[in-house]
Amino acid sequence: MLELRHVFKSFSDRGRVMPVLHDIQTTIEDGQLVCIVGPSGCGKSTLLRIMMGLAPPTSGEILYHGSPLAGVNLRAAMVFQSFALLPWLTVQSNVELGLKARGLTGALAQQRANFYLDKVGLDGYEEAYPSELSGGMKQRAGIARALAVEPDLLFMDEPFAGLDALTSANLREEVLTLWSDRALPVHTVVMVTHIIEEAVLMADRVLVMAQQPGRIAADLDVSLERPRNKRDPGFDALVDSIFEKIV
């Protein structure tokens, strides 16, 4: 579905060129939940933004269904660590934003937004402003906003990192439920995280990144049975082997 060919990215800072991503080569298959793990500063968020089309690679190609990606991929959507809700719009209007950008307005947009707000459990909070919500509820709104455009591909950039441990565990379970819900259109998810356990709990496949420059150090399939648990046999061994590859 999404193919990256020899992707390089570097930033220039006051004349000095800083390499961020080095020769990234990978394919995201349809229906997979892929987690990208790596230490902070390894370029995993940059990689996600390049996949989304928010930032162009310095060199290399990104193919979406076989054709090169130019600009933001409107068949995809993204969830952010800081939630990135507009504080001056209600939850409902925030969720409708992407729909309006796609020319969908009025009752249809409202209906669609309500459906996804219901799915993430924000039923009854349509008229609330983001500032009135807890962190977990804000991220639910962020997820509803991304789902509402009914993307083929969902990107999540450390979606649970800004939440407390209990909330993030709950929301993680719910995202898994949403992902396996055949009624929802999105079955392909790419998620960035720095917590190895989180990746092993959720992913079909883990891309392990190393830093300086950022590159893919390992590409592992996770075949543990779902629903998974931290006490499952083989869980710790997998976590340990990923940890070794990062260090």
Partner 1 sequence: MPVNRPSSRGWTVVLVALLLAAATLFQGPRALQMARAVVYSEPGFADLPGAAAWSLMRMTVSYLASLAFAWLVGYQAATNPRAARVLLPLLDVGQSVPVLGFFPAAIFLFVTLLGGGRIGFELAAIFLIFTSQSWNLAFGVYEGLSTIPLETRAATESLGLRGPLLWRTLYLPACVPSLVYNSILSWANGWYFLIASEIIVSGPVHYDLPGLGSVMSQAFARGDLRLAIGAILVLTTLVLAIEFVVWRPLRAWSMRFRYDTQGSGEGEEAMLRLPDLGLPALMRAARTAVRALWAHAPARRGASRVASATARSLARGARALRWPLAAASVVLLAAISAMGVWAMVRALRPPWPPEAASVPLALLLSFLRINAAYVLALLWTIPVTLWAYEHPRGTRALTVVAQVGASLPATAFFPVLVALLVDRYGGMEMISIALALTGMQWYLLFNLLAGVQRVPNDLRESLRSLGLSRPAIWRRLVLPACMPSLVTGSVVAWGGTWNALILSEYVAYRDRVYEVVGVGALINRATFKTGNRALLFLSLAALVITVVAFNRLVWDRVYRHVNARYRMEG
Q: Applying CB under 8 A, which residues contact partner 1? A: 49, 52, 54, 72, 74, 76-78, 80-82, 84-89, 97-98, 100-102, 129, 131, 145, 149, 155
User: Whole-number minimum distance, CB 136 to partner 1, in Å?
Assistant: 16
CB of 31 to partner 1, least distance (A): 22
Q: Which residues contact 174 (CB under 8 A, 6 or more apart)?
A: 120, 121
Smaller CB distance to partner 1: residue 48 or 208? 48
Q: Is the distance from CB of 197 to CB of 239 less than 8 angstroms?
A: yes
| Separation of first and last alpha carbons in the chain | 31
Q: Between residues 60 and 162, which has the closer beta carbon with respect to partner 1?
A: 162
- To the nearest whole angstrom, how small is the minimum distance from the Cβ of residue 26 to partner 1? 21
Question: What is the residue-wise DSSP string for 172-197?
Answer: HHHHHHHHH-TTSS--EEEEEES-HH
Q: CB neighbours (10 Å) of residue 48?
A: 20
Q: Which of 34, 141, 45, 134 is nearest to 86 (CA)?
A: 141
Shortest reach from residue 140's CB to partner 1, in Å: 15
CB of 99 to partner 1, least distance (A): 9
> 172: number of CA atoms within 13 Å, CB side?
25
Closer residue to partner 1 (CB): 16 or 231? 16
Report phi then psi at 237, rounded to 5.
-60, -40
The residue among 84 and 246 lying less far from partner 1, judged by its C-beta, is 84
Query: CB–CB of 161/194 below 8 Å?
Result: yes
Give me the least distance between CB of 82 and partner 1, in Å please. Answer: 5
Q: Which is nearer to partner 1, 100 or 226 (CB)?
A: 100
Which one, 149 or 206, has the nearer CB to partner 1? 149
Q: How many CB atoms lie within 10 A of CB 17?
A: 9
